[in-house]
């Protein structure tokens, strides 16, 4: 859908500039946005605080000279970050689609940056056209927190067993009912999802620290599903749960019996994937 890099001939003009609706003359433009979620109440527009959607819509109105409601690929909670959130809007403005990113970045606050924009077809929907989403979660398992990581990592004050956490990851692989790992507050027709990838590794020398990185990809996620799964993996890493315990909790489908979610600041939406291989 949207690429961060230019096409092979490195010419902006090689990108499509128009997918117009014959009936309305509307153009459809999508983009990739990155943000530091620390100061946001979430990605979706809310009445009680600043949101990524709200900031994008204000910036679009400034450059397009008309209101342009934004559709996002997914919701992120307060404090959660993104490097690959996808959005779409419609416009009748003649601005070249691939230059919208630069224009937006002259208006947006410094904790939000649009990485790329391009024209898309009307049928493209950031959420419903997506085939999968990729998140990463950073855990710093030390007693004394590195101040450089305090806004991008969850903290656990003891060393975690990465091997045991990876063993427990296998319980979550595949298509199954994840009702146990959904927080209340966002009803859905089905709690069945497919986790395509889930792994844990120790990173080396990030601002002098060696945090743990959890990577997870699924066709879609339930409300707070990633943070809840990471919370379970942390419990495994502490020795409080085994992989068998995690499997039992998953089958029990009772959220009240599961460990608490990991804190929001360690989570980042890395990429939204689409069937054509772009994101």
Name which of 64, 63, 83 is nearest 73 in CA terms: 83
Q: Which of 77, 219, 244, 254 is catalytic?
A: 77
Confirm whether 141 is a catalytic residue. no
- Is residue 104 within 8 A of residue 59, CB to CB? The reply is yes
Distance between CA 92 and CA 122 in Å, rounded? 13
CB under 8 Å to 158, separation ≥6 — which residues? Answer: 141, 143, 238
Distance between CA 252 and CA 254 in Å, rounded? 5
In which element (H, E) is residue 172 found? helix 162-172
Rg (CA), the chain: 20
β-sheet bridge partners, residue 139? 154, 212
Catalytic residues: 77
């Amino acid at each position: 859908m949207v690429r961060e890099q230019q096409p092979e001939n490195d010419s902006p003009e090689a990108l499509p500039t128009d997918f117009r609706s014959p009936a309305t003359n509307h153009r459809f433009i999508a983009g990739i946005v990155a943000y530091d979620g620390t100061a946001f109440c979430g990605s979706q527009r809310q009445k009680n605080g600043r949101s990524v959607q709200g900031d994008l819509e204000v910036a679009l109105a400034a450059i397009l000279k008309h209101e342009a409601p934004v559709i996002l690929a997914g919701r992120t909670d307060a404090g959660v970050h993104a490097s690959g959130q996808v959005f779409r809007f419609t416009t009748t403005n003649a601005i070249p689609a691939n230059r919208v990113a630069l224009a937006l970045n002259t208006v947006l606050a410094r904790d939000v940056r649009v990485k790329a924009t391009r024209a898309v077809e009307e049928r493209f929907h950031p959420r419903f056209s997506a085939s999968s989403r990729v998140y990463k979660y950073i855990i710093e398992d030390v007693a004394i927190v590195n101040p450089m990581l305090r806004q991008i990592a969850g903290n656990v004050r003891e060393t975690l067993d990465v091997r045991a956490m990876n063993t427990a990851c296998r319980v979550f692989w595949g298509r199954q009912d994840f009702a146990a790992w959904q927080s209340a507050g966002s009803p859905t027709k089905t709690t069945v999802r497919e986790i395509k990838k889930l792994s844990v590794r120790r990173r080396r020398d990030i601002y002098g620290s060696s945090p743990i990185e959890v990577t997870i990809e699924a066709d879609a996620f339930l409300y707070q599903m990633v943070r809840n799964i990471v919370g379970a993996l942390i419990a495994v890493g502490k020795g409080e749960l085994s992989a068998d315990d995690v499997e039992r909790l998953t089958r029990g489908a009772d959220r009240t019996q599961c460990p608490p979610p990991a804190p929001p600041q360690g989570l980042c939406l890395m990429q939204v994937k689409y069937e054509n291989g772009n994101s």
